[in-house]
Amino acid sequence: MIRRLLLVNGPNLNLLGTREPDIYGTATLADVEEIARRAAAAHGFDVRAVQSNHEGALLDAIHEAREDCAGIVINPGGLSHTSVVLRDALSGVALPVAEVHISDVRAREAFRHHSYVTDVALVHVVGEGVQGYATAVDRLIAVITGQADG
């Protein structure tokens, strides 16, 4: 069994720690990646992390995950609400997906209430702050290892 997850962070998440700290907190992208790595390591998994402000780079990383990852944890950022091609890439690789959002997108602007990723994700973690990444990793690994249903 492959014991690696792909962690995908979309546009603007490189600004974590400085961008709207009242919404996203003060943890950095490096902190988020470390949270995910620690959660995965507790289950004997490792994490390959990618962040880009360019949709195509994210699509390429998702496609490459077919070769050496057991699942994908993704915070698509604003692409959640706009990108059919991101949704199609996730669907197309046929890996289990966990969607995570730091803030509670359902309590924010109306345009944030819909995510194209939701219907292809087995795990959804919304509004838990950066600790939601650990929750998403734990739940996704439980699905991958057969300890939980998706």
Residue 115 assigned ligand-binding role: no
65 pLDDT above the threshold of 70:
yes
Residue 52 DSSP class: -
Query: pTM, whole model, 2 decimals?
Result: 0.94
- Residues 35-54 as b/e (b if ≥16 CB within 10 A, e otherwise) read bbbebbeebebebbbbbbee
- Residue 94 pLDDT level (bands cut at 50, 70, 90): very high
Active site residues: 24, 101
- Residue 12 pLDDT level (bands cut at 50, 70, 90): very high
**4-144, which class in CATH?**
alpha beta
Q: What angle do CA 9, 62, 39 make, to 5 degrees?
A: 55
What local confidence, expressed as pLDDT, does residue 23 receive? 82
Residue 112 assigned ligand-binding role: yes
Residue 9 assigned ligand-binding role: no
Three-state secondary-structure class, residue 1: coil
Q: Tell me which residue of 108, 102, 109 sits closest to 76, measured CA to CA.
A: 102
pLDDT in tens, 32-64: 999 999 999 999 999 999 999 999 999 999 999
Read off the pLDDT of each residue in 122-140 and give the average, rounded to a whole number: 97
With a CB cutoff of 8 Å and minimum separation 6, the contacts of 124 are 98, 99, 100, 118
Is residue 140 within 8 Å of residue 122, measured between CB atoms? yes
Residue 75 assigned ligand-binding role: yes
Alpha helices in 53-107 (DSSP H): 55-68, 84-93
